[in-house]
Structure 1
């Protein structure tokens, strides 16, 4: 039993400074060339990633390909200093938030300059979890203005918190959401109220971070594995071991199961994966193209993981 293969995009956060060393220029060029050769045409970045460094570097890569051939998104509202050191990607000291109209307009203008383009296909309000009213009053109306002018093609929200997406989608006219890590083998919180609303309203869902920052790709015992950007605790590791055991019993690698699970929900229109070496990207695409055997989701249901298609 396998969901139809859904489109895949790439996130370029690792072109900016993170809590790991940034990807060197020659490696980034090789990754981008390989992704392009594999048919990927959906690319995402944000001014947060390296304080604009990711946008700047992605802009250089995009100069080698036709603008009409790809779909590009960036974000507004959450920022850090250029090339600043990062201790915690999720809640980094020194990051700041500004969801005002003026800051939003300035942010898009700066992103366009760094990316070397005259338009964004998608603009997301970024991580407004503690600032939903400000995003509704400032950032989203400003993005709607830019959409009316043709500077932005579609607007939405990018967040790791399902409740944030739901609060915005209930009160604003959104086109697309980038839901990070909230419909995975470890966390199905987006399926409870958000995904049904998206299906009823025709809001596209791009599902990012299907590996929850890595643990669902590497498994629980890799020394560098992460869960939601942090070192996983013992309970999380034990949970992943149980999931991995079920997957092995059905002849499915954990990584393959994680990708298929996140892609299977009817609300999910695309997976967005992190930038990785060409062989890793090829492995991910091969996993998505490979079948998932009948019975896997039912066996995982015994661990309390609901069927990804929403079926009982």
Structure 2
């Protein structure tokens, strides 16, 4: 997958990590919402590397170790001598515990046909260390390029947020610092869906980058006036994940259940998306193409990360990224108020 402006990717601060412009989110390979066969998962990963998605993001939570195990099996099959081996990130903040037979279900926490394990939040020093070591085992690696603290934030944890934040600041963050000092982690950040917790992290934690899902997309530009300027001042990069906003920007918007932010989309959000789609239709621009290209235009965004469950989806994304989109299209979105007027667009 070739991005005309960022063929070689961008370096994250002084970490030595160079992040390519587009990345594969491996949550679907953990059987997100539906089971994916092992051979389909492997074909997806192979297609991703062939298309230039040379960065794979996973997490223990994705299929309760299944996503990491599949990524690890694939990477080990490439061999250590592989030129241009992919960048890998995973996450800490949950440990996996065995479930009782009574807890078995076809779908648990949004994942189907999973191992008999369950995720338990643990942001302590020992929890982060355990999570990291178990991820290394599943991935078949001694070191991991990027590690994100997963799903910190008040919207996620409610009245437990203060406890989890304190546990991470007083415990888990020290584990991250120790792992970085040992050279086992190159870069660290938060992997979250919330802008506010990123702003707090800029003040209280030593972060290199954020993986921010769903908050900077063609549909929503929440961080523009607050988080992104603060990141620029601190030299902190952003990986814009979830560019399709849980699917609303990837489909036809004409039928079936429409999802936004991991739930059925509110009517006002659907109307907004359909208005963007109307402009897409006017200029013969595929909606997913605009969704994938838009976030990368912001100078703070070093990579756009999307989840794919098949080689066919990866190949579609390759076409969308390389679709020529006229400047007039972006201008109309801005002039009609469908995107923030201060948002950079790919033709600028």
Deviation per residue, 1:215-244 (Å, 9 max, x gap): 101132341442112122322221111111
SS, match of residue 223 in structure 2:
helix
SS, match of residue 256 in structure 1:
helix
Counterparts of 2:213 and 2:97 in 1: how far apart (Å)? 23
Change (3 A) 1:283 1:145: same
Superposed CA RMSD in Å reads 2.4
The reply on whether 1:86 has 2:108 as its aligned counterpart is: yes
Contact 2:294 2:345 in 1 (8 A): no
- Equivalent positions of 1:96-175 (< 5 A) are 96-129=120-153, 130=161, 131-175=164-208
Change (3 A) 1:60 1:149: same
Deviation per residue, 1:51-86 (Å, 9 max, x gap): 112111211111112457221111000356569732
Q: What is the match of residue 237 of structure 1?
A: 270
SS, match of residue 260 in structure 2:
coil
Contact 1:9 1:272 in 2 (8 A): yes
Deviation per residue, 1:88-132 (Å, 9 max, x gap): 57xxxx753211111101110111011111011001000011233
SS, match of residue 10 in structure 1:
strand
Q: Is there any run of 5+ residues in structure 1 with no aligned partner, and where? A: none
- Equivalent positions of 1:289-308 (< 5 A) are 289-301=322-334, 302-307=336-341, 308=343
Q: What is the match of residue 8 of structure 1?
A: 22
Deviation at 1:254, TM superposition (A): 1.1
Counterparts of 2:284 and 2:345 in 1: how far apart (Å)? 23
The reply on whether 1:31 has 2:44 as its aligned counterpart is: yes
Counterparts of 2:172 and 2:272 in 1: how far apart (Å)? 38
Change (3 A) 1:209 1:290: same
SS, match of residue 51 in structure 1:
coil
Contact 1:136 1:168 in 2 (8 A): no
Q: Work out the number of aligned pairs and report it.
A: 306
Deviation at 1:282, TM superposition (A): 1.9
Contact 1:184 1:262 in 2 (8 A): yes
The reply on whether 1:76 has 2:92 as its aligned counterpart is: yes
Give the one of 220, 228, 249 matched to 2:253.
220
Deviation per residue, 1:2-57 (Å, 9 max, x gap): 98356211111122243x22211111111112112222221111111111121112
